[in-house]
Amino acid sequence: MTRRIASYSRQLLRPLKGAFALAAMLPSLVMAADSAVFLQYHHVSDKTPAVTSISPEMFQQHLDYLDKNGFKVEPIEEVIKAIQSGQPVPDKTVVITFDDAYKNIYENAFPILKAKGWPFTIFVSTQPVDKGFGKFLTWKQIQEMTRSGATIANHTISHPHMPEKKPGESNEAWLERSKKEITDTEQRIKEKTGQSVKMLAWPFGETAPELRKMIKDMGYVGFGQQSGAIGPLSDFTRLPRYPMSGNYTDMSGFRTKINSRPLPVTLQEPDTAIIDPKDLMPSLTMTLADGAYQKKQLNCYVSGQGKVELEWLDKEKTQFRTQAKSPLPVGRSRYNCTAPSMDGRHYYWFSHQWLRFTKDGKALD
């Protein structure tokens, strides 16, 4: 890390923005790190479904906490570029994202963000915007927000369940259809905003190995809806973001998550979210790099099942396996694994999302 900080300090003449410039020019004042926390919001309203919403009042509390506690809210492109290239980012870096382009983002979130002068990202599904659906943003509103620092990124045309194939559809046709969902959206965003950052939020957070390979080959970065912080070892085809809606908006949980670090997982098996119908209690094996976390306090949790057993597979405690206690339900589930830092101030966090199809191969909303 010292070598990275020294290297970064030598880049004084390189044009950087915001806190990145400050970190480069004043390393003694701004500590460098190699990870960041990404927040994911949908609705910012108290009149929309609770499961995908945060009230404007609670959203204000989230942002005020960041403001008062020294967090640096940075543009998504700069943070991803820095982490991918092995450059440090300012400590306590946060990226704010929204999915689906709901109109209440403009009405309730944008004024708060604009007042603070903070950048943010909206992952846009273009079909409802183009069709003028009343609950969604207009291109005029999107363009106004881009002029105030918003990044507009890809959330496909129609927000489909990407891993789901149509009846009789071949792998080639499925991938071609999926690719068109992405490329047509990217072109439309570029036409309307001039932006093309090649970042994709998977609809519902759902993906599959073939899709992840496809977007990697296309030069895209992919984001899921599983929790955790982002670091150099993260999978840049399905990066974690902390969902901030429903029961996950309270300030106690927010403080824990916003101060988290990425659990350094170097390998996971299986490397897919898709559940084999013959194995409804899938095991997950993970290999860990060293880090400032307490391995003895590592715990794993399964959606709806609470804490589950984990088994260390070697004496050095570099590899472990965990598994659900009962069959995972149809739809999306998660395995979350966390360990406290050595100083007890942070949690190291990793989450894996699973997807179980219905008997006829459908994914549930």
Distance, CA of 363 to CA of 181 (rounded, Å):
18
Sorting pLDDT into bands at 50, 70 and 90, what band is 168?
very high
What type of residue is 20? Answer: F
DSSP state of 143: H
pTM: 0.91
Provide the mean pLDDT of the chain. Answer: 92
Contact, 327 vs 281, CB < 8 A?
Answer: yes
Distance, CA of 56 to CA of 130 (rounded, Å):
26
Residue 11 has pLDDT above 90, yes or no: no
pLDDT tens string 183-207: 999 999 999 999 999 999 999 999 9
pLDDT tens string 229-255: 999 999 999 999 999 999 999 999 999
Give the β-pairing of 319-323 and 283-288.
antiparallel
DSSP state of 230: B
Map out the domains of the chain with their CATH numbers.
2-261 (3.20.20.370), 267-356 (2.60.40.10)
